[in-house]
């Protein structure tokens, strides 16, 4: 696996790219099998796979959250090599950002719903860095995990508005055997938190099972009750919405998704499930 740390190295490498399809998996490191599943999916349809590891400061609202974000780079490199990844782009912050950079892209209300409500400015930071990475790597396809469902929708909107020549692929959530969605933040969970965090996936599964039985307000109420009754869990939101707009479900809705965010102890977790 080739490891590049500068934009120049990446540009130089891809100068001679001919007839190759480049798949790109942008990450913030602390890799787990969820990330590796994105690499594997990219390998199935692309000639070459690039993974980036960059803990992006502009998408963190809380400086302490940024500070404690896990950065096990040696373990990450070993995982990528084992997975057969072709290229790792691992830049510094100064390689990606100038000191006084400004960025804002209007994507409407989507950035203020759900995650956006609890993490104001987060999605502007996400779009800012993904735009930069796309312009550096120039991938044909980019692979993102469904766990960050709203993020995929935000990036889709950005690609559309900026007319970027990249095809986005949303890959299924990878779960532990007990149902917990794989996340880099799971390392912060105590055994107690980990046990009670299972209520997120259990609640989503219950909603999917009962979707054709109860009304959405009834399901919503039941979900909130399940989360509130779980020891050590502080729910932030639980929403059943249109999967294309994140707005309330209507008769015209073609895809329904349920999304949840909650704190298990000190660790903030998100999860979602496609209902249909």
- Which residues are tagged catalytic? 35
**Sign of the CA dihedral running 7, 8, 13, 16:** positive
Q: How far apart are alpha carbons 39 and 156 in whole angstroms?
A: 19
- What DSSP string describes 13-52? HHTT--SPPEEEEEE-S---HHHHHHHHHHHHH-SEEEEE
Where b means 16+ CB within 10 Å and e means fewer, 86-108 reads bbbbbbeeeebbeeeeeeeeebe
């Amino acid at each position: 696996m080739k490891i590049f740390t500068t934009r120049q190295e990446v540009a130089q490498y891809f100068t001679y790219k001919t007839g190759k399809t480049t798949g790109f998996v942008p990450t913030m490191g602390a890799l787990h099998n969820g990330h590796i599943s994105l690499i594997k999916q990219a390998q199935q349809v692309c000639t070459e796979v690039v993974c980036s590891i960059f803990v992006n400061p502009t998408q963190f609202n809380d400086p302490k959250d940024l500070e404690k974000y896990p950065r096990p780079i040696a373990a990450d490199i070993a995982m990528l090599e084992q997975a057969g990844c072709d290229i790792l782009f691992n830049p510094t912050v100064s390689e990606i950002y100038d000191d006084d950079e400004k960025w804002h892209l209007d994507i409407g209300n989507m950035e203020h719903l759900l995650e956006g409500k609890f993490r104001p400015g987060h999605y502007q930071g996400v779009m800012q860095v993904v735009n930069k990475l796309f312009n550096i790597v120039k991938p044909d396809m980019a692979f993102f995990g469904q766990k960050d469902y709203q993020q995929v929708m935000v990036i889709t909107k950005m690609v559309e508005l900026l007319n970027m020549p990249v095809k986005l692929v949303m890959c299924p959530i990878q779960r532990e055997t007990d149902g917990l969605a794989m996340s880099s933040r799971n390392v912060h969970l105590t055994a107690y938190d980990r046990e009670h965090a299972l209520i997120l996936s259990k609640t989503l599964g219950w909603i999917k099972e009962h979707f054709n039985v109860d009304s959405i307000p009834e399901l919503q109420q039941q979900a909130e009750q399940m989360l509130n009754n779980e020891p050590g869990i502080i729910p932030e939101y639980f929403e059943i919405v249109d999967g294309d707009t994140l707005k309330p479900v209507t008769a015209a809705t073609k895809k329904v998704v349920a999304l949840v965010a909650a704190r298990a102890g000190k660790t903030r977790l998100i999860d979602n499930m496609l209902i249909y």
